[in-house]
Amino acid sequence: MESKALIYYICRLKFYVFVMESILKEKIKEAIKSLYNSEVADSLIQIQETKKDFKGDFTLVVFPILRFSKNTPEQTGIEIGNYLIENFSVFSEYNVIKGFLNLIISDSWWVELFSKMSQVKDHCASCMVDNPQTILVEYSSPNTNKPLHLGHIRNNLLGYSLYRILSTCGHRVIKTNIVNDRGIHICKSMLAWIKFGNGETPETSGMKGDHLVGKYYVLFEKELKQQSEQLLKKGIDEETARNSAPLMLEAREMLLKWEAGDKEVFDLWTMMNSWVYKGFNETYEKLGVDFDKIYYESDTYKYGKEIVSKALNSNILYKNSDSSVWADLTSDGLDQKLLLRSDGTAVYITQDLGTACIRHEEFNFDKCIYVVGNEQNYHFQVLKAILKKMGYQWADGLIHFSYGMVELPEGRMKSREGTIVDADDLIKEMTDTAREVSLELGKLENYSNEEREEIFRQIGLGALKYFILKVDPRKNMTFNPVDSIDFNGNTGPFIQYTYARIRSVLKKATENNLKEDLMSVTSVKQTDKELQLIKILRKFPFVVSEAAVAYSPAIIANYCYDLSKEYNQFYHDHSILSDEDENIRSFRLVLSRVTSEILNSGMSLLGIEMPERM
């Protein structure tokens, strides 16, 4: 992940590509050259949007220019302001407050711009990058011993949204998943199932497959705890007790058998995994995410072991006296890292090495973005360092998209305390709440059950997705179940509602045979609120580009909220269909239509569906 400073640097470069900002900067440089006979470095021309409380569109921070003007901030601002007004017609006025030169762009320029925007089919078209890349996005990465939970939901939503955003910007994006389907954890579930399962299957139990396998994992841990407690009483320390308990020894043995290809173990493993995959697929489908290519650790770990042996032969790695294999990363400021156990079995990172190589051979990617929680920051440092050590230069393109943990109001989710929020339960609860709220408000009374259920689903998921995606991915977030089902304020349903109201107006316009006349855009006199709406609509492509560079769906989420808020104010203060003036009616129709299109595009980049009515 690039540093924050670098991200902003890139953003700024990109922004100047866009029309108004680049014009502004050039004109200001021209003004300074003419007034003070000085060439100014770009970095000294600081342009920002004017704060709401002041009159203006763009603001030049004058302080850095003082070294050229050798004058007070006030005077310098006035001089530059006068020059711009006299020489360039896009500027209609200016004012100087303290060290800030507030420039006002003429209304006609904004209106002209909006007129063009209203004829554009794809509002993301200008986000296309000049150099498209091949990018793999890895997300979800479940273990096959437990169902998906709230943490996976954040992961999946971020990964999927990242895919939407990057591909909208013109990159070739491949959605991938690595399923951690082997290892000691799945042996634990298998062992418990053999011992206590009595042949139970998803069919006989009526349980979703991933939940059923999860049940046996929990059972294993419970039994193991009892066994370790027995040993603890004999005065053995906790760690040793856990590791030497009979169940644990059996699980280890099973892992060895699995790696040796023991048929009985392998068949059981295949069966139980197939239950889990069926369950996962249901959850993914409900969540609206999918993958282009799914990798399985059970395939890739072999290749991982191969490249480890190869590197061992080239003396890049070393073998310990107990024949475990290690990488020495002290020269990179990291530690020694185990790559193969003394019994020759692979560890977690071994398969990640293999997976990375396989992916590179398969896709020759420019970047491979791992959507994985920040608890694995060290893991990815190590992964990259080892690959580089092995001579794979492309490892520079591995990016750990390190997102923050999801916590509950009472702290971290803990399986031992039963506070894990299950993904399937959560999705269901959100839909149920949407249904409850809608019915209570008496909405959708004249629609069929199927239509209503579809809308409840969209609202429930919209609420969940927005609640999670509006937060800066890098930060830990608190998931408060009570807040998450609130559909008022800064929420997904608020934005969906704004959209649904617009769609309703547009529908009514069609019914009443009111048509858009694009000439109306330039022929009417806009109100302040209308101009404000135009100005925020214009920012959409900037926002998408910024989100792509910063890997942050949150930027788009917050934009959609701002836009909705702005539109709702407009909607409240203006009538659209019942205004007397035909041109005004038409213009407001265009304004509403473009708003709905941009809201829809923005939310679809978050993977959120928009109901036509609600």
Instruction: Pick out residues in 377-406 that bind RNA (CB under 7 A).
Output: 377-379, 405
Site for RNA contains 576 (CB under 7 A): yes
Site for RNA contains 100 (CB under 7 A): yes
Give, as ranges, the residues between 340 and 369 that touch RNA (CB under 7 A): 341-343, 347-349
Site for RNA contains 571 (CB under 7 A): yes
Q: Candidates 285-293, 357-365, 370-378, 384-392 — which segment interacts with RNA by CB under 7 A?
A: 370-378
Site for RNA contains 196 (CB under 7 A): no
Percent composition of the chain: helix, strand, coil (DSSP 3-state, to 5) = 60, 10, 30
Beta strands at 100-105 and 58-61: parallel, antiparallel or unpaired: antiparallel
Give the one residue of 480, 510, 512, 523 binding RNA; rule: CB under 7 A. 480
Helix (H) or strand (E) holding 438: helix 423-440
**457 vs 107: CA distance, rounded Å:** 42
- The residue among 31 and 173 lying less far from RNA, judged by its C-beta, is 31
Give the one residue of 25, 257, 574, 593 binding RNA; rule: CB under 7 A. 574
The C-alpha angle with vertex 387 and arms to 382 and 391, in degrees rounded to 5, equals 145
- The residue among 393 and 528 lying less far from RNA, judged by its C-beta, is 528
Site for RNA contains 170 (CB under 7 A): no
Site for RNA contains 285 (CB under 7 A): no
Give the one residue of 184, 232, 294, 421 binding RNA; rule: CB under 7 A. 184
In the numeric block, which tokens belong to residue 406? 């999801």
Print the binding letters for residues 237-276 with RNA: x by CB under 7 A, - otherwise: ----------------------------------------
Site for RNA contains 217 (CB under 7 A): no
Cα torsion 204, 210, 215, 221 to 10°: value is 150
Q: How far is the CB of 326 from RNA (least distance, A)?
A: 9
Map tokens 């506070």 to a residue. 419
Q: How far is the CB of 203 from RNA (least distance, A)?
A: 28
Beta carbons within 8 Å of 74's beta carbon, 6+ residues apart? 96, 98
- The residue among 180 and 283 lying less far from RNA, judged by its C-beta, is 180
Helix (H) or strand (E) holding 59: strand 58-61
Q: How far is the CB of 480 from RNA (least distance, A)?
A: 6
DSSP per position, 139-192: ----BTTS--BHHHHHHHHHHHHHHHHHHHTT-EEEEEEEEB--SHHHHHHHHH
**384 vs 368: CA distance, rounded Å:** 11
Site for RNA contains 510 (CB under 7 A): no
Burial of residue 121 (CB within 10 Å: 0-12, 13-18, 19+) is exposed
- The residue among 165 and 437 lying less far from RNA, judged by its C-beta, is 437
Site for RNA contains 47 (CB under 7 A): yes
Cα radius of gyration (the chain): 29
Q: Candidates 109-117, 272-280, 389-397, 482-490 — which segment interacts with RNA by CB under 7 A?
A: 482-490
Give, as ranges, the residues between 514 and 553 that touch RNA (CB under 7 A): none
DSSP per position, 535-554: HHHHTHHHHHHHHHHHT-HH
DSSP class of 471: S
Give the one residue of 158, 265, 505, 556 binding RNA; rule: CB under 7 A. 505
Give, as ranges, the residues between 403 and 422 that touch RNA (CB under 7 A): 405, 409, 411-412
Give, as ranges, the residues between 424 and 453 that touch RNA (CB under 7 A): 434, 437-438, 441, 443-444
Give the one residue of 167, 296, 470, 520 binding RNA; rule: CB under 7 A. 470
**267 vs 64: CA distance, rounded Å:** 71
436: left (phi over 0), alpha (psi -120 to 50) or beta: alpha
Give the one residue of 77, 81, 99, 279 binding RNA; rule: CB under 7 A. 99
Give the one residue of 324, 527, 583, 604 binding RNA; rule: CB under 7 A. 324
Write the single-letter amino acid at 211: H
Give the one residue of 82, 575, 581, 582 binding RNA; rule: CB under 7 A. 575
Question: Contact, 565 vs 572, CB < 8 A?
Answer: no
Number of residues that bind RNA (CB under 7 A): 98
Write the single-letter amino acid at 183: G
Site for RNA contains 147 (CB under 7 A): no
- The residue among 449 and 488 lying less far from RNA, judged by its C-beta, is 488
